[in-house]
Amino acid sequence: MPVFRKVLPLLPLTLMAVAHADGAVAADTVPSVATPQAAAGAPLSKARQQSAPASPSTRTMPAHPELYALGALLSRNLEGFQLSEAEFAAVRAGFTDGFHHRPSTETAQSQVPQIQALQHTRVMAAAQHEEQVGRTYADHMLARAGARKTSSGIVYVPAVEGSGAAPSVSDQVTVHYTGKLIDGTVFDSSVQRGQPATFALTGVIPCWTEALQLMKVGGKAQVVCPSELAYGERGAGAQIKPGATLDFEIELLNIVPAASGAVAPEEPSP
């Protein structure tokens, strides 16, 4: 399913962590936002500490890669906490003690409210950072020729003016699109899959519902979606962080009136 579609609220996080034999955390689990402080839950003025452990490319890989992979996958449950190395060491100690059923972990359940509060604080701090960076990006895009900003905050940059009809909110449309993060990373693309997407305008993120009504069949446009009109503070998947601004290149291929009863095809996951 393409990521631009509406998604259900995320389920509560199941807190899990794992200790590698050498105490290293998987490299692909480290987010790019600033590392939070332990006590106050506020972001530090610098990124991760310089004493980060060696990456897998500079040390001997474990004898049991499937167990290493288990640890790497479990560690992804910690991403929202934006842990420093010192904080991860505390989590690792708790995981080890829990694995061995040591008495010191018997009161861990009572800390669940504090854990949830810490996660919420840090996710919100990361989201605010993403929103700020996104606003700067949107302002930059607004300087492009023909760009305009809608009252809701969408930056719409026409590339090719279509000559056909414009869809209404009750229509289905067929489009080709490429979705990028503001750093240029492609997170979803019907163009790369070689198959256009068909969907109802009421079944996608608000940014798309609004932007596609500005287009005509045959038209192409670049659409910068602010976080609040995309996935907001919850983000989507592994790539779209909470608070992320998204950049789409969209080509409107066809309009399928709702009265036709057409059914949108199921899209493969990106």
Catalytic residue positions?
177, 187-188, 205, 231, 248
Q: Which helix H or strand E contains 108, and what residues bound it?
A: none
User: Cα 96 to the chain's mean position, in Å?
Assistant: 30
Check if the beta carbon of residue 139 is closer than 8 Å to that of residue 132.
Answer: no
**Calpha distance 90→146 (Å, rounded):** 53
Please count the other Cβ atoms lying within 10 Å of the Cβ belonging to residue 2: 18
Specify burial of residue 59 (Cβ count, 10 A radius: 0-12, 13-18, 19+). Answer: exposed
Q: Which residues of 111-146 are buried (b: 16+ CB within 10 A; e: fewer)?
A: eeeeeeebbebbbebbbbbbbebbeebbeebeeeee
User: Which tokens is 136 given?
Assistant: 């700067």
Cα–Cα distance, 17 to 73 (Å, whole number): 9
Closest by CA to 249, choosing from 218, 215, 224, is 224
Q: 102: which 2 tokens? A: 């040591």
Instruction: Report the run of H or E that residue 147 belongs to, with start and end.
Output: none
